[in-house]
Amino acid sequence: MDSTGCTACKLKLQIWKEFITQVDSVTDKQTPFLFFIHSKDLAELRYIFLTEWFDYPVCVDTGDELNRLNKFPQDEAFHVFLLNKENKVTIIGNPIQSSKVRELYLSQIKKEVS
């Protein structure tokens, strides 16, 4: 996620928490979620995380280094991806923005834990 626009609106932390709970229920909490956020307003992020009770690992990338290294496309739907155990990308897309992508994630995750 980058820092343009309404940060809290873009993060959708409550929906992420629901999705993480759903994944945890099928993987016995064996699937880690890592969030990398490009923002220069650390105070705003702290406030959002506190008010949303978001206690998952977050890396705040103030220099946008992750994007510079990977040259992500402009479309934010392609800034979220699922990695397998070898850290290879298996699915690209945002499961929070698309129910079809969410089902793909859940299907792939279930396969990995079986």
- Dihedral sign, Cα of residue 11, residue 92, residue 85, residue 39: negative
Residue 24 in domain: yes
Q: Which residues of the chain have pLDDT under 70?
A: 1-5
Residues 6 and 100: their CA atoms lie apart, in Å, by 25
Contact 17, 54 (CB under 8 A): yes
Number of domains in the chain: 1
Residue 58 in domain: yes
Predicted TM-score of the model (pTM) = 0.87
Question: What CA–CA distances, in Å, run from 63 to 17, 20, 38, 41, 42?
Answer: 26, 27, 7, 12, 12
The distance between the two most distant Cα atoms of the chain, rounded to a whole number of Å, is: 41
pLDDT of 15 reads 95
Residue 59 in domain: yes
We report the CATH number of the domain holding residue 86 as 3.40.30
Give the residue numbers spanning the domain of 80: 7-109
SS3 37: strand
pLDDT of 4 reads 58
pLDDT of 27 reads 92
Residue 2 in domain: no
Contact 52, 13 (CB under 8 A): yes
Burial 48-82 (b: 16+ CB within 10 A, else e): bbeeeebeeebeebeeeeeeeeeebeeeeeebbeb
Residue 27 in domain: yes
